[in-house]
């Protein structure tokens, strides 16, 4: 058990932080929703019922959408673009390390299944990280739109308007305001990390250059 916790400490702590934050968001959102219900003379609902509301679904996937977009774009851009001096960039003065020969790795029993399989499976696997993040972004984008359409329709009907479909909601300023206000902050945060890692350090972190490394050194190692 001690070794399991040591070897997986980073993901376990992040998962615990995620779970705690999700509980915090859902319970506080439940309180906000019921306060709004009371203000409009409507009945309050239970916690489990709140988890199925557009209010909760839209809020969750609006944020997930921007996070997965951020990481998908970051993975792709760092594969092709350089920022000299950044711990987050490949070194422009060093060639990319050669990939292991797939034909030789195919016979390694410890190699991932797509490498041993070859063909289309290997082709997809070469880009599987960015593809997975892009898929998660697309799913989150859709659920944000679907939940947002329900929430927007409820507000419209409360004020005597008409409900809208998910497709119609994608054409509203409200949807794009919600998206862009999150996207800009995500791109700012990764841009700040790229630039700040040129000049600042965090001892012990693989995202930081060594303390004695010059500002011009590129890459964390």
Domain ranges of the chain: 1-52, 53-221
Angle at the Cα of 207 (from 204 to 208), degrees rounded to 5? 65
Phi, psi of 170 (to 5 degrees): -60, -20
DSSP state, residue 3: H
pLDDT of residue 137: 98
Give dist(CA 106, CA 183) in Å, integer.
Answer: 40
Answer whether 143's CB lies under 8 Å from 178's CB: no
pLDDT confidence of residue 100: 58
Give residue 214's pLDDT: 94
pLDDT < 50 stretches in the chain: none
Structure confidence at residue 96 (pLDDT): 74
Looking at residue 99, what is its pLDDT?
65
For the stretch 156-209, pLDDT in tens is 988 889 999 999 999 999 999 999 999 999 999 999 999 999 999 999 999 999
Q: What confidence score (pLDDT) does residue 67 get?
A: 97
Burial of 124 (0-12, 13-18, 19+ CB in 10 A): exposed
Distance CA 40, CA 59 (A): 21
The answer to whether 63 and 18 are in contact (CB under 8 A) is no
Cα–Cα distance measured from residue 190 to residue 183, given in angstroms and rounded to the nearest whole number: 11
- What pLDDT does residue 66 have? 97
Q: With contact defined as beta carbons under 8 Å apart, do 47 and 27 qualify?
A: yes
Give CA separation, 57 vs 28, 37, 145, 181, in Å.
Answer: 14, 17, 10, 18
Pick from 13, 16, 176, 78: which is nearest to 5 by CA?
Answer: 13
- Rounded Cα distance between 62 and 60, Å, is 6
> Given this model, what pLDDT does residue 112 score?
87
């Amino acid at each position: 058990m001690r070794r399991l916790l040591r070897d997986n400490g980073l993901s376990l702590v992040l998962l615990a932080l995620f779970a705690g934050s999700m509980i915090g968001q859902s319970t506080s959102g439940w309180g906000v929703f019921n306060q709004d219900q009371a203000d409009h003379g409507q009945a309050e609902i239970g916690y489990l019922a709140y988890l199925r509301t557009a209010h909760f679904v839209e809020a969750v996937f609006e944020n997930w959408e921007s996070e997965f977009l951020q990481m998908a774009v970051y993975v792709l851009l760092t594969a092709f673009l350089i920022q000299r001096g950044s711990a987050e960039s490949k070194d422009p003065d060093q060639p990319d390390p050669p990939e292991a020969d797939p034909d030789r790795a195919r016979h390694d029993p410890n190699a991932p299944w797509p490498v041993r399989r070859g063909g289309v499976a290997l082709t997809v696997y070469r880009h599987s990280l960015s593809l997975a993040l892009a898929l998660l972004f697309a799913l989150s984008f859709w659920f944000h739109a679907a939940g947002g359409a329900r929430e927007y329709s409820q507000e419209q009907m409360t004020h005597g308007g008409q409900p809208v479909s998910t497709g119609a909601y994608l054409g509203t300023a409200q949807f794009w305001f919600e998206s862009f206000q999150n996207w800009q902050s995500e791109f700012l945060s990764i841009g700040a990390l790229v630039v700040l890692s040129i000049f600042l350090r965090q001892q012990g972190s693989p995202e930081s250059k060594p303390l004695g490394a010059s500002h011009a050194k590129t890459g964390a190692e």
